Amino acid sequence: MSSETEKILTTDGIPLEESLKQAEKKNKIKAFLLVAPLLLFLIITYMIPIGDMFSRSIDDKMVTNMLPKTYKAMENWDGKELPPEEVFEAFYLDYKILVKNKTAGKLQTQLNYEKNGFKSVLKKLARKQKKFEEGNYKEQIMKVHKRWRNVEYWRAIKRRAPSYTYSKYLKGVDMYSNEDGKIVQVSEDRRIHRILWIRTVEVAFFVTLFCFLMAYPIAHLLATLPMKYSNLLMICVLLPFWTSLLVRTASWMILLQQQGIVNDFFVWTGLVADDNRPEMMYNKTGTYVAMTQILLPFMVLPLYSVMKTISPSLMRAGKSLGATPAVAFFKVYFPLTIPGIGAGCLLVFILAIGYYITPALVGGASGTLISNQIAYHMKSTLDWSFASAMGLMLLTGVLVIYWIYNKLVGVDNIKLG
Amino acid sequence: MSKKADFVKFDKVDKSYDGKVLVVKDLNLDIEEGEFVTMLGPSGSGKTTCLMMLAGFETPTNGEIFLDNNPISNIPPHKRGIGMVFQNYALFPHMTVFENLAFPLKVRKMSQEDIEKKVDKALSMVSLGGFANRMPGQLSGGQQQRVAVARALVFDPAVVLMDEPLGALDKNLRESMQYEIKHIHESIGVTVVYVTHDQGEALTMSNRIAVFNDGKVQQLSSPDKLYEEPVNSFVAEFIGENNTFGGEVSEISNGTCKVKLEKGEIIANPISVKSVGEKTTVSIRPERALINPKDKMDNNQKGKIEEVIYHGDHTRVRLNLLGNSEFILKVPNSSQNLDIKLGNEINIGWNSHDARALDPK
């Protein structure tokens, strides 16, 4: 036996390790070049947008940049009493430029977020400042509106001094940091986001559950039927999958509306009275029905791929050993399908938690989810930083679920096909 | 306790899957208690179907199967108490070896103590004592096979079915497992119904062999009888090697008959021929024909050696004899200096008793 420290040499005298590296180098480069486009694609379309989203969600440079002199002057102000003359002067000079450049509106909006009623005060100042004389700006500004004598407003300005903020994240869970810098909940009637988060998780959970309950027998049938029939059934599963999402959602709208086919059928069978047709759309019911149908293939396919690998002789073995069909199913078959269940549930849950189109179309007011809220801020209020913050919270939530899942089941157990 | 001669009984069983073709036709089979019976046959001969009907995974289309005199067609598989070893072992991959063996005991609601005792016993029976906590995936094919056998036996079933259990093993392992299963059978005396398409396996292990073809039992007898005295040309052909001559019976008298071939005539033992003029296939085992026989034999023919293949313990010689160029001889490699060289003409002799005139092919 050769000693362990002795290096093995090739016939040419080069250390074996080095020689192996040399020989594999070319292949490694080739392999890297082959995946490079994908890597680049991922970086451009995935990593960079997420990074951008993050920086946008905490970005608060706008106010900082609009009032550079003010914030410089404020550095020495302890915030307990009204600020000294230099701060007033600096604020006047900053604000004058903003009014001149016609960008004062943005500042007004931003500061109004911080302190209600700031907008009107600033607007008045914008009108009056043209007639200001040089010197003693404190007196002049305070004369414009009595609120300038209130230290609260100056504190509000100072709070916006840092160029980064986590206030958007707090807003996402219906909290804010108050004048004293404490994090508190918003008043009860304004807590809308928390309801949406809970509803989103609830809808995603139940959609996953319904998908699982419906997909399990289908997948089992697919895996056990003879090829001739299973192919047909597979097409039935996949056909909706290939149909446009919008078309499918629209067709659910036709089916579920109050004068729709499902309601007509209920009335025809006498299940409900004609003048008392249930509302199945523009509420949670509609969201549940349509999302379950749309996400069903994502549950069926992983389950099917796992079930396909389970030998039918295992169930037979279970029965021949004396287990009733039910016991054989739960002790033998079911545990073997867990990797498929895990994959399917994770897939459906993650898709459902960020679902947008379907709840937007059939969800109505009580069926909209957090993604609809994000879209609302993207398109209507143009508060992109808040939309980014909520998007990232959603992403974090998904990652947390994935982590928990990994702890419980183990990602190695996932089988997607 | 006397052994029941018809512990397992197939009574006029027919089976059809599609309503057009019968895969099992009018099957009648009695299996004695404690017996090792092998169902042997080519694939598609209905042997596995029979096993599945006995296990309860298929129902007979017609007829009835009795286990210990009770009809079992309407009893679901889990109430039959029949152990089964599957072709691909069918061990539960998510359970340890112990859990696999404990499964049939747990569903029978045995106490934990009894379970442990029985599992231990079963594992030591297949000499896998230290493997209780392994997963099936960590075992070799042969070990998995033993676990499967132990699992089928651990709950003391009256009958154990084995469906080509050694099919996936390599040759050496297969042979040692054959002996092992045979010994287990002998030591615990359970009734075994074994399915295989490997005749060597069947001959080694069984008390009796049922040769299946075309949905029917062609012959049911002990291995030696099956080999020495096949009742028809299918069995003669299927079991072991076989030299055949096709011809017509030209004379029949007490115990022997003459069969006229295309070239020449031979004396044979009339098994399934009754009268002159019948077509027949005469079957002779290769080792029954001798070169230059010392004792007097009633068949003596000259043949030309066409091929000589050395096999170690014996030499195979292919002859052209009476127009049959596929006549095989097995010559033991003893020191006897026989003149077996390619192209030589040699004398071949055999007894008419060993030349069985069977049904024509």
Residues B224 and B261 in one domain: no
**pLDDT score recorded for residue A185:** 85
Q: Would the pLDDT of A138 be above 90?
A: no
Residues A115 and A20 in one domain: no
Binary contact (A336, B86; C-beta < 8 A): no
Residue B348 lies in a domain: yes
Return d(Cα A271, Cα A284) in angstroms, integer.
21
pLDDT digits (tens, 9 = 90+) for A8-25: 777 777 788 888 888 889
B92 touches chain A (CB under 8 A): yes
Q: Which CATH number belongs to the domain containing residue A383 in this structure?
A: 1.10.3720.10
Q: Which of B212, B233, B254 is the last residue of a domain?
A: B233
Residues A44 and A121 in one domain: no
Residues A266 and A132 in one domain: no
The A-side interface with B (CB below 8 A) comprises 311, 313-314, 316-325, 327-328, 331-332, 335-336
Residues A11 and A93 in one domain: no
Residues A112 and A41 in one domain: no
List the single best residue of B48, B53, B54, B57 to mutate versus A (max A Cβ within 10 A).
B57
Chain B CB contacts of A324 under 8 Å are 78, 107
Residues A11 and A94 in one domain: no
Residues A78 and A214 in one domain: no
B162 touches chain A (CB under 8 A): no
Chain B CB contacts of A335 under 8 Å are 94
**Cβ-contact A256, A262 below 8 angstroms:** yes
Residues B99 and B151 in one domain: yes
Q: Would the pLDDT of A339 be above 90?
A: no
B103 touches chain A (CB under 8 A): yes
Chain A CB contacts of B57 under 8 Å are 316, 319
pLDDT digits (tens, 9 = 90+) for B11-69: 888 888 888 888 888 888 889 888 999 999 888 888 888 888 999 888 889 889 998 88
Q: Would the pLDDT of B334 be above 80?
A: no
Q: Would the pLDDT of B341 be above 80?
A: no
B108 touches chain A (CB under 8 A): yes
Residues B288 and B349 in one domain: yes
Among the listed residues A349, A347, A390, A348, the one whose alpha carbon sits nearest the alpha carbon of residue A371: A390
The residues with which B279 forms a beta bridge, in sequence order, are B248
Binary contact (A327, B103; C-beta < 8 A): no
Looking at CA atoms only, how far is residue B106 from chain A in angstroms? 9
Chain A CB contacts of B82 under 8 Å are 320
List the single best residue of A309, A310, A320, A331 to mutate versus B (max B Cβ within 10 A).
A320
Long-range contacts of A82-85 (CB under 8 A, 24+ apart): A82/A138, A82/A149, A82/A151, A82/A154, A83/A154, A84/A138, A85/A136, A85/A137, A85/A138
Computed over its alpha carbons, how large is the radius of gyration of chain A? 32
Q: Would the pLDDT of B329 be above 90?
A: no
Residues B38 and B163 in one domain: yes
Residues B218 and B168 in one domain: yes
Residues A66 and A44 in one domain: no
Q: Would the pLDDT of B146 be above 80?
A: yes
CB contacts < 8 A, A to B, total: 66
Residues B285 and B147 in one domain: no
pLDDT digits (tens, 9 = 90+) for B5-21: 788 888 888 888 888 88
pLDDT digits (tens, 9 = 90+) for A40-57: 999 999 999 999 999 988
Return d(Cα B128, Cα B100) in angstroms, integer.
13
Report the domain count for chain B. 2
**Cβ-contact B226, B206 below 8 angstroms:** no
Residues A66 and A95 in one domain: yes
Binary contact (A316, B94; C-beta < 8 A): no
Residues B199 and B337 in one domain: no
Binary contact (A323, B92; C-beta < 8 A): no
Chain A CB contacts of B84 under 8 Å are 316-317, 320
pLDDT digits (tens, 9 = 90+) for A243-282: 888 898 888 888 888 888 888 888 889 888 888 888 888 8
Residues A218 and A359 in one domain: yes
Residues B61 and B190 in one domain: yes
Return d(Cα A216, Cα A131) in angstroms, integer.
77
Q: Which pair of tokens denotes residue B116? A: 């442990």
Residue B3 lies in a domain: no
Report the domain count for chain A. 3
Please provide the average confidence, as pLDDT, over all residues in chain B: 86
Q: Would the pLDDT of A33 be above 80?
A: yes
Residues A206 and A334 in one domain: yes
Computed over its alpha carbons, how large is the radius of gyration of chain B? 24
**Cβ-contact B137, B93 below 8 angstroms:** yes
Residue B2 lies in a domain: no
Q: Would the pLDDT of A417 be above 60?
A: no
Return d(Cα B316, Cα B334) in angstroms, integer.
13
pLDDT digits (tens, 9 = 90+) for A186-231: 888 888 888 889 999 999 999 999 999 999 999 999 998 888 888 9
**pLDDT score recorded for residue A2:** 47
Q: Would the pLDDT of A177 be above 80?
A: no
Distance separating the N- and C-terminal Cα atoms of chain A: 46
Chain B CB contacts of A341 under 8 Å are none
Looking at CA atoms only, how far is residue B171 from chain A in angstroms? 24
Q: Which of A313, A314, A321 sits opposite B107 (nearest CB)?
A: A321
Q: Would the pLDDT of A410 be above 80?
A: no
**pLDDT score recorded for residue A211:** 95
> How does DSSP classify residue B3?
P
Chain B CB contacts of A336 under 8 Å are 93-94
Express as a percent the part of chain B with pLDDT over 70.
98
Q: Which pair of tokens denotes residue B103? A: 């499964």
Looking at CA atoms only, how far is residue A321 from chain B in angstroms? 5
Q: Would the pLDDT of A413 be above 70?
A: no
**Residue A234 burial class via C-beta count within 10 angstroms: exposed 0-12, middle 13-18, buried 19 and up:** middle
Residues B296 and B215 in one domain: no
Q: Which of B56, B93, B151 sits opposite A321 (nearest CB)?
A: B151
**pLDDT score recorded for residue B337:** 59
Confidence at A179, pLDDT banded by 50, 70, 90:
low
Q: Would the pLDDT of B335 be above 60?
A: no
Express as a percent the part of chain B with pLDDT over 90.
14
Those of residues 12-41 in B touching chain A at CB distance below 8 A are none
Residue A175 lies in a domain: no
Helix (H) or strand (E) holding A222: helix A193-224
Q: Which of A30-34, A145-149, A192-196, B290-294 has the lowest mean pLDDT?
A: B290-294
Arithmetic mean of pLDDT, B206-212: 90
Return d(Cα A395, Cα A39) in angstroms, integer.
21
Residue B1 lies in a domain: no
Nearest CA in chain B to A333: B92
Binary contact (B77, A317; C-beta < 8 A): no
Q: Which of A141, A162, A183 is the last residue of a domain?
A: A162
**Cβ-contact A115, A152 below 8 angstroms:** yes
**pLDDT score recorded for residue B100:** 92
| E strand intervals along chain B | 8-16, 22-31, 36-40, 62-67, 70-71, 82-85, 159-163, 191-196, 208-213, 216-221, 243-253, 256-260, 265-270, 279-284, 290-291, 299-310, 314-321, 324-332, 345-350, 356-358
Residues B128 and B270 in one domain: no
Q: Would the pLDDT of B309 be above 60?
A: yes
Q: Which of B88, B93, B107 sits opposite A322 (nearest CB)?
A: B107
Residue A173 lies in a domain: no
Which residue range forms the structural domain that includes residue B66? 8-233
Residue A309 makes CB contacts below 8 A (sequence gap 6+) with: none
Among the listed residues A172, A91, A183, A185, the one whose alpha carbon sits nearest the alpha carbon of residue A391: A172
Arithmetic mean of pLDDT, A397-414: 80
Q: Which of B96-110, B181-195, B243-257, B336-350 has the lowest mean pLDDT?
A: B336-350
Residue A392 lies in a domain: yes
Q: Which CATH number belongs to the domain containing residue B352 in this structure?
A: 2.40.50.140
Torsion of Cα atoms, A34 then A40 then A42 then A45, to 10°:
-140
Q: Are strands B356-358 and B265-270 parallel, antiparallel or unpaired?
A: parallel
Chain B CB contacts of A318 under 8 Å are 92, 103
Residues B251 and B201 in one domain: no
Which residue range forms the structural domain that includes residue A32? 1-48
Confidence at A1, pLDDT banded by 50, 70, 90:
very low
List the single best residue of B53, B54, B78 to mutate versus A (max A Cβ within 10 A).
B78
Q: Would the pLDDT of B258 be above 70?
A: yes
Global pTM reads 0.77
Residues A252 and A395 in one domain: yes
Residues B255 and B211 in one domain: no
pLDDT digits (tens, 9 = 90+) for B213-239: 888 888 898 988 888 888 888 888 888
Nearest CA in chain A to B85: A317
Return d(Cα A73, Cα A84) in angstroms, integer.
9
Residue A183 lies in a domain: no
Q: Which of B187, B215, B233 is the last residue of a domain?
A: B233
Q: Which of B203, B233, B263 is the last residue of a domain?
A: B233
Distance separating the N- and C-terminal Cα atoms of chain B: 46
Residue type present at position A367: G
Return d(Cα A238, Cα B162) in angstroms, integer.
41
Return d(Cα B181, Cα B173) in angstroms, integer.
12
Confidence at A394, pLDDT banded by 50, 70, 90:
very high
Q: Would the pLDDT of B293 be above 80?
A: no
**pLDDT score recorded for residue A393:** 92
Nearest CA in chain B to A313: B90
Looking at CA atoms only, how far is residue B95 from chain A in angstroms? 9
B179 touches chain A (CB under 8 A): no
The residues with which B208 forms a beta bridge, in sequence order, are B37
